[in-house]
Structure 1
Amino acid sequence: MSAPVDAVLLRSLTPGVLGVLVRRGADFAAAEDAVQDALVEALRVWPADPPRDPKGWLVTVAWRRFLDATRAEVARRRREDVVQVEPAPGPVPAVDDTLQLYFLCAHPSLTPSSAVALTLRAVGGLTTRQIARAYLVPEATMAQRISRAKRTVSDVRFDAPGDVATVLRVLYLVFNEGYSGDVDLVAEAIRLTRQLATAVDHPEAGGLLALMLLTSARRAARTAPDGRLMPLAQQDRSRWDTAAIAEGVAVLQAALARDRLGEFQAQAAIAALHADARTAAETDWVQVVEWYDELVRLTGSPVVRLNRAVAVGEADGPRAGLAALAELDAGLPRYTAVAAYLHERDGDLATAARLYAEAAHRAPDLAERDHLTRQAARLNTHRAGG
């Protein structure tokens, strides 16, 4: 009986295979197409005939696909030097090109949004649909953006310098998608951010690493044994990873000591305050609000303002939180869920139940939809005297 192909293994090997092709001289767009062809071939061949060296197999097949495609475009004379010699089959050197690929995708010729989208697709392994959802744009729009970005970097040298801030942004989005999305990329995002923090003199690299460590430390408690989503206040804090928290706090303190505050450091400081509280009731919400004020100053992000409204509601009471919420666009993602929570805290259970049901209808994934539906049902049962 044939064994199914390990999709996680394929996804983990993709950046390295792509890096080998680019290092050999393939332009980025052609290399990415060839790697995708090799992955499709692996899904077809491996169940019946699994290779002893999966990466080497993928490199060999992808390189041959690249050569075939390149030779078919005789008019493109600049590639002729690349295709003269095919490297002999054999083990592929254990070189990790992933971080270099992130820098390639963050080339200054690309806009930050295009750079992020390209990296998520080509290196992070996310689908165009997943990336479009993260950016709140139609899938067709994102597909066009990624195609333009691939064309832009097709002539870029592999060692061309990229923008550290853009690489950090990409890693942050990869982590977020891996933390709450369909593809688990958390460990890979942390590994690459750790590499980056060691390789560059940038306090925000430390800030992002601290944020990832402190956030992922809560991951085991994020869902109940039956799969239900557990809000931060209801999580079993004994399940938090204390070693990851300790490392995250130490990394954050070192970054903050450099006195070059950035948004990732501020977010990590908020996460550290949650990690420091033995119970939800002991959270220092006044400090949390102060850090959100810093984040608003640094980013101006409406999503940050939305999270700040929740913190204000905890620090100064639900009426203050609702007043802060009223200043924001009601079309923001999760606005309705925040409004429901604050109305419940204020004792208006009828409004809260209605808003929870409305928020459930708009929820981006099944786990959140189920959680919000349960909240609405709980309040309706309570109001009915059940």
Structure 2
Amino acid sequence: MSAGAVVDVRAIEAVFAEQYGRAVAVLIRVFGDIDIAEDAVQDAFAAALRHWPAEGLPPAPAGWIITTARRRAVDRLRREAARAGKYAQAALTHAEDEADPYDVPDDRLRLIFTCCHPALAMPARVALTLRLLGGLGTPALARAFLISETAMAQRLSRAKGKIRAAGIPYRVPGATELPQRLPGVLAVLYLIYTEGHTTSTGPAATRADLCAEAIRLARLLTELLPGEPEAIGLLALLLLSDARRRARIAADGSLIPLARQDRRHWDAALLDEGRSLVRECLRRNRPGPYQIQAAINAVHADAATTADTDWAQIVRLYDHLAALAPSPVVTLNRAVAVAEIDGPAAALALVDELDLPNYHLYHAVRGELLDRLGRSAEAATAFELALEHTENPAERDHLRERRRQLDRRPR
């Protein structure tokens, strides 16, 4: 590190966002315990906040964090072992048996399968993996799951305790176990991507690192399970979604809705790869929810403009999706397509049957439909409700602007 170098705290935050999951995964393998790993990595980042602003970034920030975290954990365990702590002695022995803490090609994939063990409830699998791989705090996870922070903290604590008590191994499962473990892993990766695509906390509207991480791990899954169409479908869905990411946020950070995006800025290479994977899924003829969502995105990608979109095909695909995986969110998204075919009144009738009071997009969709029907006062209320249920800065600015547009219209 160069003397006198000044590092902005944002640079350290970027290292945290990019390397937290890797560091935790490595430390879990080294010490065999989630809590020890999390505490050590958090201590290492606290040390980075003390040293890096004045001393500068080290040549390999990730290696600095992992090495510092390992030393902090070893020191702590030695102190505890000296006080006859059997648990600390066992963890210390586990660490000292590690010949090289960097010799496993992808600890994060091992960590995902550990957290997605069937002994854990599905919500706990998703939340724990997103916490450990993405570094998301309890408040952000609570918002993602629409539960209180206390409930989320208890969920995470119970999940980690169950992994320890049951001796769940830290490994990628064998071929016979993979199919039953797949749904939880797919859900984890999708939520990681969703958090990157539209962040629930922090100043950034998106987190490219989380999007890239989800795609990277989705690619690894397709290598592990080359014949599994849902793994291929998830990868296709993520690629087709990510192809539009640059076009949905303007230079000033504002959100650009799909209808107003400059499709020339969509990533052609990602679109081509995503379409190719969708065609591969169709050939396999074993449809699943992720494959159908990917197909919906492919229909959008095939249209030169919003007006050219095959909305009827999208409605049919949502009907298929609802048959396989019914949910209010699927119905809400289908209603958006129905509005383009049968008009806003027909769509609003479908939306008003839903019970999604804490979902900001429910209120945002209602606001758009009510506006199209000329019911400005009700639309304004809907946009205000949407604002109450999102923390994403770009979405909040967009909703405020939509609310202001209603006020500026002549009465």
Shift of 1:36: 2.0
Match of 2:18 in 1: 12
Give the total of aligned pairs. Answer: 384
3-state DSSP of counterpart to 1:123: helix
TM-score normalised by L of structure 2: 0.85
Choose the corresponding residue for 1:57, options 57, 64, 67.
64
Query: Is the 1:67–1:83 Cα contact (8 Å) retained in structure 2?
Result: no
Shift of 1:45: 2.6
Unaligned runs of 5+ in 2: none
Match of 1:156 in 2: 168
Supply the distance in 2 between the matched residues of 1:346 and 1:84 (Cα, whole angstroms): 65
Choose the corresponding residue for 2:157, options 140, 144, 147.
147
Q: CA 1:91–1:258 in structure 2 vs 1: closer, same or farther (change >3 Å)?
A: closer
3-state DSSP of counterpart to 1:43: helix
* 1:280 equivalenced with 2:306 (yes/no): yes
Match of 1:225 in 2: 251
Q: CA 1:277–1:70 in structure 2 vs 1: closer, same or farther (change >3 Å)?
A: same
* 1:236 equivalenced with 2:262 (yes/no): yes
* 1:355 equivalenced with 2:382 (yes/no): yes
Match of 1:40 in 2: 46
Supply the distance in 2 between the matched residues of 1:13 and 1:339 (Cα, whole angstroms): 39
Shift of 1:18: 2.8
Amino acid at match of 2:64: W
Match of 1:176 in 2: 194
What are the superposed Cα offsets for residues 279-303 of structure 1, whole Å, 9 maximum, x if unpaired?
1011111111111112212222111
What are the superposed Cα offsets for residues 113-147 of structure 1, whole Å, 9 maximum, x if unpaired?
11111111111111111111111111121111111
* 1:29 equivalenced with 2:39 (yes/no): no
Matches within 5 A, 1:39-118: 39-47=45-53, 48=55, 50-71=57-78, 72-73=80-81, 74-76=84-86, 79-80=89-90, 82-83=92-93, 86=96, 92-93=102-103, 95-118=105-128
Q: Which stretch of structure 1 is more off in the superposition, 352-361 or 338-347?
A: 352-361
Supply the distance in 1 between the matched residues of 2:95 and 2:197 (Cα, whole angstroms): 43
* 1:381 equivalenced with 2:408 (yes/no): yes
Match of 2:139 in 1: 129
Cα root mean square deviation, aligned: 2.5
Q: CA 1:105–1:168 in structure 2 vs 1: closer, same or farther (change >3 Å)?
A: same
Unaligned runs of 5+ in 1: none
Shift of 1:230: 1.2
Choose the corresponding residue for 1:196, options 188, 196, 221.
221
Query: Is the 1:218–1:240 Cα contact (8 Å) retained in structure 2?
Result: yes
Q: CA 1:84–1:246 in structure 2 vs 1: closer, same or farther (change >3 Å)?
A: closer
Higher relative contact order (CA 8 A, sep 6+): 2
Supply the distance in 1 between the matched residues of 2:188 and 2:91 (Cα, whole angstroms): 33
Question: Equivalent pairs: percent with the same residue?
Answer: 45
Supply the distance in 1 between the matched residues of 2:365 and 2:28 (Cα, whole angstroms): 46
Match of 1:318 in 2: 344
Q: CA 1:78–1:57 in structure 2 vs 1: closer, same or farther (change >3 Å)?
A: closer
Shift of 1:77: 5.6
Supply the distance in 1 between the matched residues of 2:98 and 2:291 (Cα, whole angstroms): 47
Q: CA 1:383–1:140 in structure 2 vs 1: closer, same or farther (change >3 Å)?
A: same
Shift of 1:225: 2.8
Shift of 1:84: 7.8
TM-score normalised by L of structure 1: 0.91
* 1:343 equivalenced with 2:370 (yes/no): yes
